[in-house]
Amino acid sequence: MKMDKEPLKPAQLKPEDILKGRELPASMTPKRKRPIGVLVSFVLLAVLPGLLAIYYFAAVASDRYAAGAGFSVRSMEQQGGLDVLGGLTGMAASGSTMADTYVVISFLTSRSLVEKLEADVGLRALYASDLADPIYRIDSTISIEGLVDHWERRITVNHDTSSGIVEFEIDAYTAENAKLLADRVLFYVAQLVNELSEKARGDALFSARNEAERAEEKLAELMLKLQSFRSTNGDIDPASTAGAHVELIAALEGELASVNARIDVALRDMNENAPSVLRLKSQADALQAQIDARNNLNSGALDIRSRVLSEYETLQVEKTFAQQAYASAMTSLETARMNADARQRYLATFDAPFLPQEAIYPQRVMNSILFCIGFMVLWAISTLLFFTIRDHVQ
Amino acid sequence: MKTLLLHIRILATLVLRETRASFGTSSVGYLWAIVTPAMSVGLLVFIFSLVDRQPPFGTSLAVFFATGILTIEFFNKLSNTLLTSFSANRALLNYPLIKEADTLYARTLLISATYVMIMLIFFGSLFFADAGVMPQNPHMVFQAFAATMLLGFAIGTLNAVIASLWHSWPQIEKVLTRPLIFVSGVFYLPSRLPTEAQNVLYWNPVLHCVEWFREGFYGNYNSAIFDPYYPIAVSLGILLFGLAGERFTRKSRSMA
């Protein structure tokens, strides 16, 4: 209706127009045109896209089923929080398990997981399926990088930092596929956690085990040396042999002294040729001969004996040290093993994937409303911006 | 088309005028505008490195703080400068060509250009001093800058409108934005906070801008809280109110 009036007005105002130059029509026409322009732009920028969005969500968008799981990465270190309940009560996640949780979170959107899933269940084919609507469908020849990008949009990861709980949700075009994907993802996450755990265990044990092995070798080597020493010298224990010699001489000397004393006593009231004195004298001579013989023997072999003895003693000391080292290495290996056991990680799954019954995505009504509001706001802002430029015409 | 060109010429003139007005006629004035924020970040980094603190993320303390502080300063500068733009430019409005909204655009353009310079110089010198890193995702850094600019422009516009109607607003706004530096993740890693705290901080759009910058700078930042749609939605909503407010309160302003 206004369109009809529009051409008439300038014609009617012609006399004034001449009087005031071009100012008047310029200031009047925008006022007339504005409602129509605004209306047109409203239809073009707000109503039409809004309707398109509603149409898409009502008729085109394909159903997406979501399946997910919840778990937390736990270790033996936290006593009292070992069960699944511990994961739920929020006394979990300190230090290294926290770091492992971040590793798992990164893994969930990583290329390595996508490649595993592609090889395993054919991720590309699942998301390029005909069930997908044109906006969500991916090309079946998409590159792995593109697939990773797409995967990042299809998986939602939530991490509760105070309890260490990680939850993820994956959507797919059929309920079975959603569950299948969630199952496989959980499986690979468990595999990753086990690998991390094994590695941590191995690293912790490695040096302790090395140390124990070295101590054991050293000890065995010394035992062998000792054995060959004994067989070459024909003496099991040179130290005690030497001791026995010394003791023997000492005993002989003691006996000689007592025999000499008895000779002295006998000589007080007996003649030198008395038979008992003679017997004692011959006894003393025999003892002296024995002692001399022993001493002669010793002094001859003293060199060799002392060398053998010192060699033996060195070996003995080395053996004692090696034994102590071995014992302490075994103790520390045991401690390391206990530490490593404590450092073991495992995946506590408290929410295993279930088969979804209903397609919860897309949220058709909610999204339609949001899109309509969004377009309205955009239209309103662009109109207002346009007017601020338009103001300069006046 | 002609109107648009005219508008651009007006904006260019206003920007030049604003530069002269706020930084003085000498080039040293503008240099200060660039050096001051860079120095305040440098001081913070210096203090923290004295206490021998590890950066909460990445290898460079300077980059971590700078991504937070420069973003907040940019936002604050926009929202504060736009707040006074109606009252400061009243004399200009005697020229019929210049409208109040133009002063908003001009100031936004000037401040944005200044902060582009500041960031270039700061991160560039960090890089050449071997204390910085190249952004891993440069396009995200640009997006983050644009998002911060949009947010600052939106809130600044609304500020200007409110301030023109209610003269105590500048003081109240100052009080309200003071805690911003503490709730925007400048000194800490928002992703490492307890989930309860994250749920509260999520509502702060400036935090999302900071996280956006860091996502751009660090390849594996993996923010748990960052959502690019939130700051944009907030900005657009507020911008709508600001622009509509500017238009509908024009009469009452011109009378005042």
Q: Are residues A298 and A388 in the same domain?
A: no
Read off the pLDDT of each residue in B149-155 and give the average, rounded to a whole number. Answer: 95
- Cβ neighbors of A383 (< 8 A, separation 6 or more) are A38, A41, A42
Which segments within chain A are labelled E, that is strand?
65-75, 155-160, 165-172, 345-351
Neighbours of B164 (CB within 10 A): 21
Provide the pLDDT for residue A155.
92
In angstroms, the CA A76 to CA A2 distance is 80
Q: Does residue A234 register a pLDDT over 80?
A: no
pLDDT band at B221 (very low <50, low <70, confident <90, very high): confident
Torsion of CA A209, A213, A215, A217, to 10 degrees: 180
- Which chain A residues touch B193 with a CB distance below 8 Å? 161
Whether the CB-CB separation of B97 and B10 falls below 8 Å is answered with yes
Domain count, chain A: 2
Residue A235 lies in a domain: yes
- pLDDT digits over A305-343, tens only? 778 888 888 888 998 999 999 999 999 999 888 888 877
- pLDDT digits over A115-166, tens only? 999 998 888 888 888 888 888 888 888 899 999 999 998 999 988 887 888 9
Q: Are residues A288 and A387 in the same domain?
A: no
pLDDT band at A71 (very low <50, low <70, confident <90, very high): very high
Helix (H, G, I), strand (E, B) or coil at B52: coil
Provide the pLDDT for residue B234.
95
Q: Does residue A266 register a pLDDT over 90?
A: no
Provide the pLDDT for residue A310.
85
CATH number at residue A287: 1.10.287
Helix (H, G, I), strand (E, B) or coil at A369: helix
- Worst-scoring range by mean pLDDT, A21-25, A88-92, B24-28, B43-47? A88-92
Residue A157 lies in a domain: no
Residue count of chain B: 256
What ipTM was assigned to the predicted interfaces of this complex? 0.81
In angstroms, the CA A359 to CA A378 distance is 31
Residue A375 lies in a domain: yes
Residue A324 lies in a domain: yes
Provide the pLDDT for residue B52.
60
Residue A251 lies in a domain: yes
In angstroms, the CA B161 to CA A385 distance is 15
Read off the pLDDT of each residue in B233-243 and give the average, rounded to a whole number. Answer: 93
Domain around B40: 2-255
CB pair distance less than 8 Å for A380 and B102: no
User: For the sheet containing A165-172, what is the strand order?
Assistant: A155-160, A165-172, A65-75, A345-351
- Which chain B residues touch A106 with a CB distance below 8 Å? 220, 222
Cis peptide before B228 (omega within 30 of 0): no
Whether the CB-CB separation of B48 and B65 falls below 8 Å is answered with yes
Provide the pLDDT for residue B255.
61
Provide the pLDDT for residue A6.
43
Domain around A6: 2-61+364-393
Provide the pLDDT for residue B240.
93
Domain count, chain B: 1
Provide the pLDDT for residue A379.
92
User: How buried is residue A125: exposed, middle or buried, by Cβ count under 10 Å (0-12/13-18/19+)?
Assistant: exposed
To test the contact with chain B by mutation, choose from A110, A155, A391, A393 the residue with the greatest count of B C-beta atoms within 10 A, namely A391
Q: Are residues A371 and A256 in the same domain?
A: no
- Worst-scoring range by mean pLDDT, A213-217, B61-65, B160-164? B61-65
- Which chain B residues touch A386 with a CB distance below 8 Å? none
In angstroms, the CA B161 to CA B169 distance is 10
Q: Is B224 on the interface with A (CB under 8 A)?
A: yes
Provide the pLDDT for residue B91.
78
Helix extents (H) in A234-363: 238-269, 275-342
Whether the CB-CB separation of A151 and A109 falls below 8 Å is answered with yes
Task: List the 161-220 stretch of B: residues with Cβ below 8 A of A.
Answer: 191-196, 198, 220
A-B contacts at Cβ under 8 angstroms: 55
Task: Give residue A329's identity as a one-letter amino acid code.
Answer: A
Helix (H, G, I), strand (E, B) or coil at A159: strand
- Worst-scoring range by mean pLDDT, A273-282, B53-62, B117-126, B175-184? B53-62
- Which chain A residues touch B194 with a CB distance below 8 Å? 161-162
